[in-house]
Amino acid sequence: MSTRIGRTVTTPELAELIELHLSGSETDIKNPLWKILDSSISGRGIFAARDIKESEIIFRERALLAGPTGHKNSKLNTCCVCYCQLSGNDTDLLCKLGCSMPVCENCSTSERHRRECETFRQWKPKDLSKVNPHSLRIVTVMRCIFLNEEQSKLLISLQANGDKYYRAEVERAAACFECFPKNPQILEWFYRTICVLNTNAFEGRSNVGNHEVLVRALFPLAGLMNHRCVPNATHSFENGETIVVRAAKAIARGDEIVTTYAHILWSNLARKMFLGLTKHFMCQCQRCLDPTACMQKLCERDAEHKYESI
């Protein structure tokens, strides 16, 4: 069973923090197509402020936190700053200063990498011969310590559901360093961030140049979109750290803008197993409750085999 972590802010307070987060971005916060309200589906949601046409861009949003997914089965030859593709052997991919992060020549001298590089070198990586997926995955979490005060308030305000595995990501990363932080306050901040990421973040494919990368990114506004197995909105990623949300069909003013957390063509069984194992809830939408639904139905054996390792 998941456990809710952290304090709850009111919906207007959260909307104000998200507006500050969006200020200076391409999203129109003076005349937005959306508004944040309490949702009958779950918690808060995003609702259409006016009629929205099919394919119309509802909003674009830059990530609050983002980084490579660091999955073992994904390519690790991606710059951790700009997500461009790196070439060469394992040691060629790594920062020459010894922080253990893969970084391109241009980003190696950037201010963003400098702060992160200093932090990782203080932690003293144990292995500088190859990219370690556990230390790479913690990059997204570690970046929470560089948020400003307003950004930190927003992060704390987002829903954070913890399960019995949420500390494992930090423990696996800690094993990669000689001097990983032991300060309880820092560790709790990391744990909190992981719970927020697990609850709200997107892990998706993004094209950077001609290179496809897998990125984990936290978009506070997009993360408020609730799930429906027949969504009215779709999303795509740009440059690894920007999400674009469009109307999949016409959305009437006042309707909730919803997405799908699963593949839309999966069978009821496959969707239920995926949502239960990864999102810790059972969808009760009309499609899931329809016993005759059979879109692209997968057999039970295939579904069980596909998700038994999640």
Domain ranges, ordered by start, for the chain: 65-215, 263-309
Query: pLDDT tens for residues 198-250?
Result: 889 988 788 887 788 888 999 999 999 988 878 899 998 888 899 999 999 99
Residue 7: what pLDDT? 53
Q: Cα–Cα distance between 142 and 177 in angstroms, integer?
A: 13
Residue 305: what pLDDT? 46
Residue 194: what pLDDT? 94
Query: pLDDT tens for residues 32-70?
Result: 999 999 998 888 999 999 999 999 999 999 999 999 887
Residue 208: what pLDDT? 82
Q: Which pTM value belongs to this model?
A: 0.84
- Low-confidence stretches of the chain (pLDDT < 70) are 1-7, 24-29, 72-73, 163, 262-266, 268, 274-281, 284-285, 289, 291-310
Residue 2: what pLDDT? 38
Q: To 5 degrees, how large is the angle CA 224–CA 226–CA 227?
A: 145
